[in-house]
Structure 1
Amino acid sequence: MAGRYVEISNGVNEGMARAHADCARVLASGSPTWDSVDSDRVWVGPALVHLGLAQRYWKRSAEVEDGDLRLFTDLSCIVADVDASAGGYGFVWRDREGKIVRAEAKVQSRSMAVGSWHCNRRELFVIAACLRRLDEEVHLFPHLREVEIRGDSRVAVHQADPWNVPACKSVERRAILRLRGVVAEVTHALNCSTPSVSVKFSHLPGERNGIADALSRVSLSLKYVPVPDGSSAMGIVHCDAVEVHSWLSDRSAGIHSIPSFRRWKALRVAFLGWCGSDAPSPQAELFTKFLLAKQAEDGFCSRVLDECDTSQVSAIPGLPYSFQVREGLLYRVRPNVPIDDGPRWQLVVPRDLVGELSLAVHQECGHAGLTATLAGLYGVAWAPAMRKLARKALRGCLSCALTRDCGSRAQISYGASRIPTAPYDCVGIDMYGPLRALGIPGPG
């Protein structure tokens, strides 16, 4: 009965129907034989509920999706929203206008149960599954040039980048490295295809990822949850791409992760409103103006800018690098060195922004340590005494202070116990005892 739900429109409601039918199959597989009677209704009751939900979603799909099919031949960009939960995963493909192209939901097997499927692994798993499905069906998109994968887990988005080594425990490291291998392999194959297809990863706030979240929680829900169709979902998913991108993934340097920039932007909007000029500006242009103002206020940047010659270059004797002005911003220029030694152009960050940038990178890396945070920082920026300032900022992270061991231990002394000379002069704690001697039977 569950096999009647097949792929026709690849819409959201159809994906929900097929996922609920899969739930019924999984529940029925718990029966010892195909014709055994479930007198206690251990799996029959939930299976009938899932079949009923599959029928409702299938009927809704015939009403709103069968008459509005999307042609794949004219698509040049696909935006994929992904999400995973304890019971499965789901993803939805859209075009540039936000219209749904394809939706898929999968129920995770018993080997990936709630207790064994780590949250970081499952978020990266759905990214790999989405890319694998896209690689299988890329021949249906002859004009495809760009793919954007958006997820609500900043850690998984960062781990999908093949140039960043994940900072995780050894238990999860092997699984995450295998999934990153799938992501890197499919990304490289799409980049090397003819025509080339570029793949990028970005962060999407959880409140904007409602459809993928509903697809991933099919096995955990026994109620009908209405999902928007392709036309009504356009207003929900439309958002400024710069605001949702992870700055580590698209190298756009901060934007809304820095509180100082948000305050400066709010003051600028208030001032322009008071002046009667409310012309909007692109986010990249606003961030450039913000950095120009901050570099002009910084003492080190001001001294270097004053020493620049007519070619906008400032060379410091005795140092293997120099400074150069590009489009008004001050950069540190390293000599021609191998790529393993780091980037050649690094933005000079004012001293008062180093702490905020360090915390932004630290949080995007999944609250990584000092070494991983500095590696992300040095990829785009440089500042005098950056390591010292970054260490001070990371020590002020409240989440790390509440969840990580500080590394200190209580002072203890071994040997004979000291006899106290006053009340509460010496306090002793018996950590293990009293211990009963082995081999001596108890009374009675």
Structure 2
Amino acid sequence: MKIIHLIAPAASLVLIGVWNLSLSRSISGVENDNGVIRKKISATGAAGNVSESTRASVASRGNSTNGKQGIDWKHMSGNLLAAEDDDRNVEVRAMIDFQLRLAGMAREELIAALDEISTLDLSDAERGALEQKILEFLVKKDPQYALDRFVDRIESEPDTIGWQLSNAMKEWAKKDRASAGAWLDSQIAGGKFESRTLDGNSEMRVQFESGLLESILGSDLTAAGNRLAALPEDQRREVLENLSFPELSAGEQKSYAALVRQLVPADEREGSFAHIADQLVDENGYDKVSGFLDSVSANPEERAAAAMQVAESRLGNLASDGGVTQGEIDSLRTWLDKQAPGQTDGIIGKSLAEAAQDGGDFGFSEASQLALGYQKTSGSDEVLIAFLKSYSAHSNLEEARHLAEMISDEKRREAVLRDLE
């Protein structure tokens, strides 16, 4: 997925949530966008850096296109490419004005803009940058037209145009699921998704199937199941995991879990639950994960897979943000005791080792101290044994051997020390 990042001086604050409406964001409508823009400009206190034309555009939707003033496409394509390259010389005010102008265009105006661009003397990169930005808005206005116009570029430009068109599939399916599904089936039959990765799958078909499936998931579980069942078994999990699970409603999340249990191969189901948990754990802790597992009556194996992933994700994120505290370990321990009873010590030991592997301020020594402290309070050697089986321990042999001496069970201590030789 190609996301445009913009790094500019102080004025870049104005663009947070304004220009960098990345291709992954579903635009909820021009009115909402303009409201966001107003709030961002106000919040940054940067009104002096924003042109009068920008303020007028915010205040009056669509007025930015009045007067029939042309757009300097060549100049704007240079700005787009500069933003893509994180060039600090991007013209911030011009970018905001351009964004607003596109947002105010009707379907026919966006199409006319694409037609005009096709006739200009532009490089492939310049034309592509402009097309991607215009397509971002056209997908919302007329997804079917967007798909028909750019269908031949699905496979040739998967990270840009292709990805945007998979979003168009989702938008079209929301309005007319039958027609969108028929269009996708006709393209598949015509060989449009023949390009394969090394594992034999079509990355773009996975994205399109995911877009269509998302529109079905909450309203017709049987239809969603039939669509997923028609795919090869080794592609079903990938199609499901291409959906943004946290953005699904509670009912859609339950349907998702039902499809995992029914149609994902048995040896991959626990991995699917781990993937779900990884998307739900956040800086606030574990409540979202617990709520989901309870809502679908997760079995012990599903909970254990989710618990392992949650522990690794949570401690890894904390380590990246500055470190893992004893308090966080205690909170994780309490949660794991409920979700994966009998496995808590081993999960924490392995997760601490994984968190230490990336280095930074939270390294092997810090993780060792937490593991040792945990062993002393719990009376269990499992945390140290799991910790010392890691790649991290084998990368820090001297410290690892010293820690292994703290294992209370003699036979297990000797086994670990032999493994560390």
TM-score interval w.r.t. the shorter chain?
Answer: under 0.3
Which is strand-richer, 1 or 2? Answer: 1
Larger Rg: 1
Give me the TM-score of the superposition, normalised by structure 2.
0.26
Which is helix-richer, 1 or 2? Answer: 2
Give me the TM-score of the superposition, normalised by structure 1.
0.25
